Amino acid sequence: DSGVTQTPKHLITATGQRVTLRCSPRSGDLSVYWYQQSLDQGLQFLIQYYNGEERAKGNILERFSAQQFPDLHSELNLSSLELGDSALYFCASSPWGDYEQYFGPGTRLTVT
């Protein structure tokens, strides 16, 4: 158990809908990262937050947004969902200055 929690574990929704994925980092970790894992794109970095502020952006679509709250949990919002958004979404956390990241169990999103 990495100490990072993600909810929900599974999510099935229809195209055009909007969903919110939630992540709680390990106690004391200020950095939160979101990754997407799909069969065709592999593991892709989406976005990083540090202590509530956005620090780095990767291959994140404009339909996707994220935020980190004062209690350090983070949410990833996916809107206008398309079939191609079906994937595993992982959250990871780390202390600042530590390159090792601790991954949550992921949320499996299926868009039908």
Partner 1 sequence: SQQGEEDPQALSIQEGENATMNCSYKTSINNLQWYRQNSGRGLVHLILIRSNEREKHSGRLRVTLDTSKKSSSLLITASRAADTASYFCATDDVDTGFQKLVFGTGTRLLVSP
Least distance CB 105 / partner 1 (angstroms): 5
Where b means 16+ CB within 10 Å and e means fewer, 13-31 reads: beeeeebebebbbbeebbb
Query: Rounded distance, CA 52 to CA 9, Å?
Result: 24
Name the residue type at position 71.
Answer: D
Contacts of partner 1 in 36-95 (CB under 8 A): 42-45, 48, 55-56, 58-59, 88, 90, 92, 94
Asked whether position 12 contacts partner 1 by CB under 8 A, the answer is: no
Residue 25 in contact with partner 1, rule: CB under 8 A: no
**Residues 74 and 67 sit within 8 Å (Cβ to Cβ):** yes
CB nearer to partner 1: pick between 80 and 91: 91
Residues near partner 1 (CB under 8 A) are: 2, 4, 31, 33, 35, 42-45, 48, 55-56, 58-59, 88, 90, 92, 94, 99-106, 108
